[in-house]
């Protein structure tokens, strides 16, 4: 009896200690919290020497500094040392999750103290984060760049990716600004691209006309669903404090190796016992998780611990006897009972010696019949709801408007096809990442194969702006009527999906940007003859859009990445997502600034007035890329060479053209043609849009130049410069004197961006 009592006490002691055990989340002897924030391993508080954080290939980036000068104390992460100032780059940490961190970054801010806007009362125009050597990356799925203010610009720069995104705001009156709307009236937003480890956020004001009720401009990255715009955010400078408290989500992982690579050296492999290793799909490296049936910290030795599902005798998952196993459990029914013994299973039922075969058979039969009927009813209801949802999306995305506009044209638009969502899902294998042709700030383009074996390109937008639906429908109707061999043809659209999708003809040889700047080994070099033909075909397509299409079209985002090439290097203008239809043939259209830095027309940038001459300026930059082989903007180069247009104009004025022309082009024996195209580019880049040539004139000059026979250089010189009305005299006049007076003053967006200090 006494022995049984001792065994009972021992069992009770084991159950009591087991039920109250709290598995550690930090190393023994290490601090678990900094103020209100829990710091879990591999992150740790204190210097590296105390071993509280993981130290490996990622050095001390998992180390957390607890600053006790705050009340309560605040934790900070070290992101490295600023090479410009020599100071440690520290950032406040607000939470740690399985593969995410949340931190705080102060917004870029400019505030003016009087209505004249002469003197900034607060001038902190740059907000940046430098994480190149760290295991952290800005989350592209959970963050958004916001810009606040009136007549202001919000910039996002990613120097290592040579990426620059911009959105703009405007305010007519204080009353025109509404809460919750972030489409340009007092608030604008753009998505954050993937893989950003070094970013610079910048704000500035293009006009001071509304300083009386909006004295400040802000630019900041925020967790998307943690910020909702309010008109009161524009009052005074109080939003700086509010904006500093909005979290930013970072993705994190261990090291920069895959699970397979890291497991080759178990001495540095971070995953402990009873864990699974997963390759991170958002950052280089891997993350560790506990296996099913185990809990704890997967990075702390000896690893995750078994969950004793049977520990609580009253609330365990079994009806019968519960037996714990490693990572799982088993249930046993009492004697004379049958079943799996689980509360969520068949449970336990007493055995009947006289088994009612007929009743059971009938019961099973009726059960199956009921199940079939219920399934059919469920499928019918589900199908009806799905059809209603598709119909609703079709109407929201402008389907009725599209049908109305199609029927309004004589004979309809026969080439316009409205695809179903199912058709495009099958064509892209449910939008497989392996079929991605390209990613941009506003959408992803997939390669697809239709049932008739036609290969197409399918553009899936990221953001739906319901205010732009009518413009989207107009674009489809007009572009399906555009019949030009050098314009990518729109085959149709899908309006019943979550976002509208456009279906284009597939152009097989990539874009011009790739062939100039990212040419792979073994790919042919674009000769001067091919480049001249690409320029001529592109100019002809733009001239057609401006003056020969049924409704004039301003492309608004001409760049080498939007000029596609087929296998014969025939050029095709693509991506009309930013285009404007000029149905009234206006000389100017007042619109929010949109485009790509480096190609953006300075006159449009400063006035918000869009004209077809804005496309001419952008085309001039493309001509420079064809001549020099350089990118329009390069933050890795010196201030003088950062803007290609500015550097090129300086070279022309110094008569040093062939110092900036790509060597293989300069040595191709076509100096006279290169000089003529350079002079044409200079005129396209004129600061005054009214003094630039039209695209029709540009196209005509390039076509004439392409027809010139180069064998007789004297005859080429006489014929071509007679055609150009003797505007250029190569043999006797230096390039710096080609232009004179006001028409000779060229400017680029160099003047708009030279004030940027990359790491202030």
Positions marked active-site: 557
Distance of alpha carbon 526 from alpha carbon 392, whole angstroms: 49
Residue from 627, 702, 704 nearest 671 by CA = 627
Distance of alpha carbon 489 from alpha carbon 483, whole angstroms: 8
Q: What are phi and psi of 708, to 5 degrees?
A: -70, 130
**What angle, rounded to 10 degrees, do the helices at 612-628 and 695-706 form?**
30
- Residue that the structure tokens 């320029």 belong to: 535
Distance of alpha carbon 463 from alpha carbon 465, whole angstroms: 6
Distance of alpha carbon 339 from alpha carbon 196, whole angstroms: 55
Q: What are phi and psi of 455, to 5 degrees?
A: -95, 130
CB 152 within 8 A of CB 217: yes
Q: What are phi and psi of 417, to 5 degrees?
A: -120, 135
CB contact set of 315 (below 8 Å; sequence gap of 6+): none
CB 755 within 8 A of CB 155: no
- In sequence order, what DSSP letters do the residues of 359-399 get, joined into one string? HHHHHHHHHHHHHHHHHHHHHHHHHHHHHHHHHHHHHHTTH
**Which tokens go with 657?**
């053209």
Distance of alpha carbon 162 from alpha carbon 199, whole angstroms: 11
Q: Pairing relation of β-strands 490-494 and 417-418? A: parallel
Neighbouring-strand partners of residue 328:
325
Residue from 222, 142, 209, 124 nearest 182 by CA = 222
Distance of alpha carbon 41 from alpha carbon 62, whole angstroms: 8
Residue from 57, 29, 28, 27 nearest 43 by CA = 27
CA angle 735, 740, 741 (to 5 degrees): 160
Query: Quick count: other Cβ atoms within 10 Å of Cβ 653?
Result: 18
Question: Each residue of 186-210: b (16+ CB within 10 Å) or e?
Answer: bbbbbbbbebbbbbbbbbbbbebeb
Neighbouring-strand partners of residue 111:
122, 216
């Amino acid at each position: 009896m006494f022995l049984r009592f001792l065994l009972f006490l021992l069992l009770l002691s084991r159950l009591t200690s087991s039920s109250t055990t709290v598995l550690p989340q930090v190393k023994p002897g290490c601090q678990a919290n900094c103020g209100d924030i829990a710091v879990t391993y591999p992150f740790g508080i204190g210097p590296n020497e105390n071993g509280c954080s993981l130290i490996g290939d990622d050095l001390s980036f998992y180390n957390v500094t607890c600053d006790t000068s705050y009340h309560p104390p605040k934790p900070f992460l070290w992101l490295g040392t600023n090479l410009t100032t020599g100071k440690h780059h520290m950032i406040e940490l607000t939470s740690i999750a399985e593969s995410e961190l949340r931190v705080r970054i102060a917004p870029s801010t400019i505030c003016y103290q009087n209505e004249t806007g002469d003197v900034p009362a607060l001038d902190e125009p740059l907000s940046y984060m430098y994480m190149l050597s760290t295991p952290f990356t800005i989350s592209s799925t959970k963050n958004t760049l916001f810009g606040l203010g009136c007549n202001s610009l919000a910039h996002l720069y990613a120097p290592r990716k040579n990426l620059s995104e911009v959105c703009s705001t405007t305010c007519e009156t204080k009353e025109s600004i509404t809460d919750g709307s972030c489409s340009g009236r007092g608030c604008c937003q753009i998505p954050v691209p993937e893989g950003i480890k070094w970013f610079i956020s910048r704000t500035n004001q293009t006009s001071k006309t509304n300083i009386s009720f909006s004295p400040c401009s802000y630019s900041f990255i925020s967790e998307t669903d943690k910020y909702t715009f309010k008109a009161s955010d524009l009052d005074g400078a109080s939003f700086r404090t509010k904006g500093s408290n909005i979290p930013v989500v970072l993705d994190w992982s261990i090291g920069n190796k895959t699970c397979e690579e890291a497991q080759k050296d178990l001495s540095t492999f971070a995953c402990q016992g009873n864990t699974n290793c997963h390759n991170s799909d958002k950052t280089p490296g891997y993350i560790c998780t506990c296996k099913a049936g185990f809990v704890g910290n997967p990075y702390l030795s000896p690893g995750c611990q078994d969950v004793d599902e049977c520990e609580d005798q009253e609330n365990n998952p079994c009806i019968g006897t519960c037996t714990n196993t490693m990572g799982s459990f088993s249930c046993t029914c009492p004697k004379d009972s049958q079943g799996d013994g689980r509360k969520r299973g068949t449970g336990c039922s007493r055995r009947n010696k006289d088994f009612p075969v007929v009743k059971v058979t009938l019961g099973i039969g009726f059960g199956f019949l009921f199940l079939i009927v219920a399934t059919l009813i469920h499928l019918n209801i589900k199908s009806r709801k799905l059809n209603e949802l598709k119909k609703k999306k079709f109407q929201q995305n402008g389907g009725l408007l599209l049908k109305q506009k199609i029927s309004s044209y004589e004979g309809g638009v026969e080439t316009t096809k409205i695809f179903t969502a199912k058709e495009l899902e099958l064509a892209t294998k449910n939008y497989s990442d392996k079929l991605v042709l390209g990613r941009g700030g506003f959408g992803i383009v997939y390669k697809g194969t239709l049932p008739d074996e036609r290969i197409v390109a399918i553009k899936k937008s990221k953001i739906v702006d319901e205010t732009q639906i009518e413009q989207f429908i107009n674009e489809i109707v007009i572009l399906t009527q555009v019949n030009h061999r050098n314009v990518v043809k729109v085959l149709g659209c899908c309006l019943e999906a979550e976002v509208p999708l456009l279906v284009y003809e597939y152009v097989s040889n990539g874009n011009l940007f790739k062939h100039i700047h990212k040419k792979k080994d073994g790919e042919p070099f674009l000769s001067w003859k091919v480049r001249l033909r690409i320029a001529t075909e592109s100019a002809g397509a733009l001239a057609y859009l401006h003056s020969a299409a049924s409704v004039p079209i301003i492309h608004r985002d001409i760049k080498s990445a939007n000029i596609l090439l087929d296998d014969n290097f025939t050029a095709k203008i693509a991506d009309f997502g930013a285009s404007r239809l000029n149905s009234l043939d206006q000389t100017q259209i007042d619109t929010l600034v949109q485009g790509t830095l480096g190609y953006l027309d300075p006159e449009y940038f400063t006035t918000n007035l869009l004209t077809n001459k804005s496309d001419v300026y952008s085309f001039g930059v493309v001509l420079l890329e064809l001549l020099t082989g350089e990118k329009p903007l390069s933050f890795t180069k010196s201030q003088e060479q950062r803007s290609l247009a500015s550097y090129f104009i300086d070279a022309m004025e110094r008569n040093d053209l062939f110092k900036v022309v790509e060597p293989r082009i300069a040595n191709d024996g076509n100096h006279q043609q290169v000089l003529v195209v350079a002079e044409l580019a200079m005129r396209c880049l004129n600061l005054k849009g009214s003094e630039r040539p039209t695209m029709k004139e540009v196209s005509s000059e390039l076509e004439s130049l392409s027809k010139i026979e180069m064998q007789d250089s004297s005859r080429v010189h006489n014929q071509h410069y007679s055609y150009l009305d003797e505007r250029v005299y190569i043999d006797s006049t230096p390039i710096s004197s080609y232009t004179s007076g006001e028409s000779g003053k060229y400017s680029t967006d160099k003047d708009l961006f030279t004030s940027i200090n990359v790491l202030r």
